[in-house]
């Protein structure tokens, strides 16, 4: 099945905290916008190419690329989840939005969680997808991979997707190294911060994801009024494969369930 691509009605760069952040706006106007935060090392299309057309059929969608990723410029400092969260909040202000929903995948979910913690009045709903709040929530083989990883082990589809929108191999390497260091020094989010969340939260993961099922249940108990959804598949499989020309039927199903959560 071929992916149906979503064409942005607006795209460009915004001056955000000293960088030029790339963003796209899809879908109809009006209502609370849904911000999409891709995973580490990823462009918009890699993480969300499979679900974006379905989400944008109903919602105003703002998809962005994190500092140093894809078409966004970089800073000569380490990348942190907290600083990237402040970038998302600044982009929201630049675009004139006072309330947003956030759908983050993997590292993007960790960024989204920090947006909800650090800018509580801004975030109405958060979809926390395929991520952990503490190191113990990830599978041992995932952390073993992070410990042994180097640039040669970065998936070729991620390299190709980056270079397709930014043909700068030095920025690609710098992005990889900063993302890897961020994961090697992954900071646990205090339970008290999770209990203080005011946004409605959907915890979403695959049954063969990098996050353990025990951690998903733990998050559902810690976060006030959180909802939990476990779907068949590995890391991101249920979002579709935006880096290829094939889409999984589960992408449309996942988008539909996310939209149902966001409506309530």
pLDDT tier for residue 240 given thresholds of 50, 70 and 90: confident
Q: How far apart are CA 193 and CA 85, in angstroms?
A: 15
Average pLDDT over residues 177-203: 98
The DSSP string of 43-80 is -HHHHHTTTHHHHHTTS-EEEE--TTSTTS---SS---
Residue percentage of the chain with pLDDT more than 90:
91
**10 Å Cβ neighbour count for 213?**
14
Q: Which helix (DSSP H) or strand (DSSP E) does residue 13 occupy?
A: strand 10-16
CATH number of the domain that residue 250 is part of: 3.40.50.1820
| Average pLDDT value for residue range 6-23 | 96
Which pLDDT value is given to residue 95?
Answer: 98
On whether residue 208 sits in a domain, the answer given is yes
Report the domain count for the chain: 1
Separation CA 24–CA 178 (nearest Å): 24
Q: Is residue 93 part of a domain?
A: yes
Count how many residues are written for the chain.
264
**Residue found by looking up tokens 């395929």 in the block:** 130
Range of the domain at 189: 10-263
**CA separation for the pair 264, 180 (Å, rounded):** 36
Whether residue 109 lies inside any domain: the answer is yes
What confidence tens digit (pLDDT) does each residue in 85-96 have? 999 999 999 999
Q: Which tens digit of pLDDT belongs to each residue from 197-231?
A: 999 999 999 999 999 999 999 999 999 989 999 99
Global pTM exceeds 0.75: yes
**77 lies in a domain?**
yes
21 token code pair = 């952040």
2 pLDDT higher than 80: no
What share of the chain in percent tops pLDDT 70?
Answer: 95
Residue 1 lies in a domain: no
The predicted-structure confidence for 31-81, as pLDDT tens digits, reads as follows: 999 999 999 999 999 999 999 999 999 999 999 999 999 999 999 999 999
Q: Is residue 2 in a domain?
A: no
Closest CA to 40 of 77, 66, 75: 66
- Domain-located, residue 95: yes
Is a pLDDT exceeding 60 seen at residue 1? no
Judge whether 5 lies within some domain. no
**Interval 94-114: pLDDT, tens:** 999 999 999 999 999 999 999
State the pLDDT confidence band at 245, using cuts at 50, 70 and 90. very low
Round the average pLDDT of the chain to a whole number and report it. Answer: 94
């Amino acid at each position: 099945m071929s992916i149906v691509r979503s064409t942005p009605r607006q795209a460009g760069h915004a001056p955000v905290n000293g960088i030029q952040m790339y963003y796209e706006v899809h879908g109809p106007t009006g209502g609370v916008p849904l911000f999409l935060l891709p995973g580490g090392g990823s462009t918009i299309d890699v993480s969300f190419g499979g679900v974006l057309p379905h989400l944008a059929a109903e919602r105003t969608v703002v998809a962005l690329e994190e500092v140093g990723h894809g078409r966004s410029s970089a800073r000569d400092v380490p990348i942190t989840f907290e600083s990237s969260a402040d970038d998302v909040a600044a982009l929201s202000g630049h675009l004139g939005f006072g309330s947003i929903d956030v759908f983050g995948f993997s590292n993007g979910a960790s960024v989204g969680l920090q947006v909800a913690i650090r800018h509580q009045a801004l975030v109405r709903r958060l979809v926390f997808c395929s991520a952990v709040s503490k190191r113990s929530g990830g599978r041992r083989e995932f952390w073993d991979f992070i410990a042994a990883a180097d640039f040669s082990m970065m998936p070729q589809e991620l390299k190709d997707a980056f270079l397709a929108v930014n043909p700068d191999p030095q920025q690609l390497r710098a992005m990889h190294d900063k993302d890897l260091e961020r994961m090697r020094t992954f900071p646990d989010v205090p339970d008290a911060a999770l209990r203080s969340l005011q946004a409605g939260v959907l915890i979403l993961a695959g049954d063969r994801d990098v996050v353990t099922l025990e951690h998903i249940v733990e998050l559902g108990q810690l976060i006030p009024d959180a909802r939990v959804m476990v779907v068949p598949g590995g890391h991101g499989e249920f979002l579709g494969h935006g880096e290829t020309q094939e889409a999984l039927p589960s992408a449309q199903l996942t988008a539909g369930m996310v939209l149902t959560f966001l409506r309530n």
